[in-house]
Structure 1
Amino acid sequence: MHDKDDSNRPERRSSLIALELSRLDIDIAAALSEVRFSGEGSLQKHGAGYTLFWSGRPATEGNHSGVGFMIKTFIASTLESLRTGHSDRIMSLHLPLKNKEYATILSVYAPTLQAKSEEKDIFYSELRHVLRRTPPADKMLILGDFNARVSQDADAWRGVFGRHGVGNCNDNGRLLLEICMELQLAITNTISQQKDKLKTTWMHPRSRHWHLIDYILVHQRDLRDVLHTRVMPSA
């Protein structure tokens, strides 16, 4: 027997995402959150030509979170030994580039604003640990849902973000800004001037206001490699 509506099942949701990525011709989707598969593994979406890699909680703890990457299968076939699941909130991919260079890409999913302080401390401690172990010569990208608002105060956080932020800062935003300042990371979403609908990603269910809570971070030395960061409203 099948449920009348199985659209929220992890297998079904991942198939829908793969089809959308195919439509948009995305090579690597590097910030999937709430994947909701247990443990660590991979799953090919043959019809769309993508492979999903995920890192979640052990099966005994439920599957309410999880992070992952979805990569075109012809690319993924060369990368399977280069991905690492650090937890159900952090997963990394070591991607070979040209001229013997590498990029380390992290998919992250931070605790919500309502989460306990201990849970947030564990997440950011683990993120610091992973970033500090990244080879210094690697280009670094951290992508994901940080559940944080970082405001528009570029002068107070010089080098961390540009003059095109959105809204006001909250407690989670300060945690994010502190690690960015500490590790010399830049928030690329705030660099380019563009309409808010090309920056915001989440609408508050009560106020109906749109907020920027999903970010792409790079090391400040690699900002020259970032051409543009924007939301794709059609997706």
Structure 2
Amino acid sequence: MECRKMCPCIYAPCNDSYSDEEKDKFFETISDTINNIPDNEELMAMGDFNGKVGQRGDPWTKHLGPFSDNTATCNYNGNLILELCAEHELVIVNTLFEHRQSQIITWYKWNNLDVCSQIDFVLVM
């Protein structure tokens, strides 16, 4: 049996610029896309999810490693990412390995480098 890999690139709506309904619809579309992937295919989704997952415990330990940006508080998109992971048994693999904080952070405010967070993630099935 042939095994193929699906590697979609994500650019999610920003938390401040879009309504909750628009963000919900976006993540529902991702979920629908994942549901249409045949069982013999693997999935790796990566990109700018515009979400902050923070450092979370149960029930997310199966999906989120211990090395996410623990300085950030989980936001709306962050919850949607974690719910997507739980629904489809995905793991946020770039939170599984320890890095310097400067390598965890993936976004800096252009005019204030003290405002930063981890919003880019790699999800693997």
Whether TM exceeds 0.5 here: the answer is: yes
- Say if 2:14 is the partner of 1:112: yes
Alignment-derived partner of residue 106 in structure 2: 201
Alignment-derived partner of residue 121 in structure 2: 215
Structure 2, unpaired ranges of 5+: none
Separation in 2, partners of 1:122, 1:170 = 17
What SS does the corresponding residue of 1:192 show, helix, strand or coil?
coil
Separation in 1, partners of 2:42, 2:76 = 28
Runs of 4+ in structure 1 over 2 Å off: 204-210
Separation in 1, partners of 2:21, 2:73 = 24
Structure 1, unpaired ranges of 5+: 1-98, 220-235
Q: TM-score, with normalisation over the residues of structure 1?
A: 0.49
C-alpha displacement of 1:123: 0.6
C-alpha displacement of 1:194: 1.1
Question: What is the number of equivalent residue pairs in this alignment?
Answer: 121
Q: Decide whether the 8 Å contact of 1:154 with 1:162 is kept in 2.
A: no
Alignment-derived partner of residue 130 in structure 1: 33
CA offsets 1:3-36 (integer angstroms, 9 cap, x no match): xxxxxxxxxxxxxxxxxxxxxxxxxxxxxxxxxx
RMSD between aligned alpha carbons? 1.6
C-alpha displacement of 1:154: 3.4
Q: Decide whether the 8 Å contact of 1:160 with 1:184 is kept in 2.
A: yes
Q: Structure 1 counterpart of 2:115, which letter?
A: H
- The structure whose Rg is larger is 1
What SS does the corresponding residue of 2:122 show, helix, strand or coil?
strand
Separation in 1, partners of 2:96, 2:56 = 13
What SS does the corresponding residue of 1:100 show, helix, strand or coil?
coil
C-alpha displacement of 1:206: 4.5
Q: TM-score, with normalisation over the residues of structure 2?
A: 0.88
Separation in 2, partners of 1:152, 1:117 = 23
- Identical pairs, percent: 31
Q: Decide whether the 8 Å contact of 1:110 with 1:146 is kept in 2.
A: yes
C-alpha displacement of 1:155: 3.3
